[in-house]
Amino acid sequence: MNKEIHTADLGRIDYQEAWDYQEKLLQENVRIKLARGKGTGEEDTTNYLLFCEHPPVYTLGKSGHIENLLISEQQMQEQGIHFFPTNRGGDITYHGPGQVVAYPILDLENFFTDIGKYLRFLEDVVIRTLAEYGITGSRSPGETGVWLDPEDKTRARKICAMGVRCSRWVTMHGLALNVNTDLRYFNNIIPCGITDKKVASLNEELGREIPVAEVKAKMQQHFADVFGGTIIVK
């Protein structure tokens, strides 16, 4: 099993461009696996961990509800916000500057074949990262992602959203951690279709701006530790 994880920071990149790149990497891994299955190839699949930020964009999961988008197409155009229906799981969320987006393209057969476990591992990566800032990240029963004070209905707030796709055990899409994110953009949606909880960001919790590169570096190390992989920096 190949547990090398090739990491790259794509910087600020349009959502569609990042999506196309992920799809390209996923399909190449699927091609390798199909050839191996037919006995016509011996090439190993490659695991990737991509970091990026996006210009303001709302994305809707394949099982999401468009009514959770609360503004019109014209209003989005006026505010410079894009919108994409996607093939990931989950409902609607926001991506934008100051947010750390991580897209793992992993061949889970190199690690384990359990999507539930995969999501829990992603949550662990974020929980460990938050702990380095003195913040206790938690799970909310029945709700994917990482939360602050989920047991308190008056204070519960989501700091990291997740939504993934998996094809032949190769993953794409991933997670979005609010670092210095302008949370006002979430007022235009019902985030993740959840009406009774708020959203949070690292800088709002700590009262200071957090270096995004620093958060990415911490997350990268915790990703390697949680998944038992070796980081290869591209």
Q: Which CATH number covers residue 214? A: 3.30.930.10
Amino acid present at 75: Q
State the alpha helices, DSSP H only, in the chain.
Answer: 15-37, 73-79, 115-131, 202-206, 212-227
End-to-end CA distance of the chain: 20
Residue with tokens 């997740």: 162
pLDDT, one tens digit per residue, over 94-119 is: 999 999 999 999 999 999 999 999 99
Q: Looking at 52, 160, 166, 192, which residue is catalytic? A: 192
In a domain, 216, yes or no: yes
In a domain, 36, yes or no: no
Average pLDDT along the chain: 95
In a domain, 209, yes or no: yes
In a domain, 159, yes or no: yes
Q: Are 111 and 49 in contact (CB under 8 A)?
A: no
Domain boundaries, position 191: 53-100+108-227
Q: In the chain, which stretches have pLDDT less than 70?
A: none
In a domain, 27, yes or no: no
Q: How many domains does the structure of the chain reveal?
A: 1
pLDDT, one tens digit per residue, over 125-158 is: 999 999 999 999 999 999 999 999 999 989 999 9
pTM for the complete prediction? Answer: 0.96
In a domain, 171, yes or no: yes
Q: Are 60 and 92 in contact (CB under 8 A)?
A: yes
pLDDT of residue 155: 94
Q: Are 94 and 56 in contact (CB under 8 A)?
A: yes
Q: Are 192 and 122 in contact (CB under 8 A)?
A: no
For the CA atoms of 213, 9, 121, 168, what is the dihedral angle to 10 degrees?
170
In a domain, 166, yes or no: yes
- 160 catalytic per annotation: no
In a domain, 73, yes or no: yes
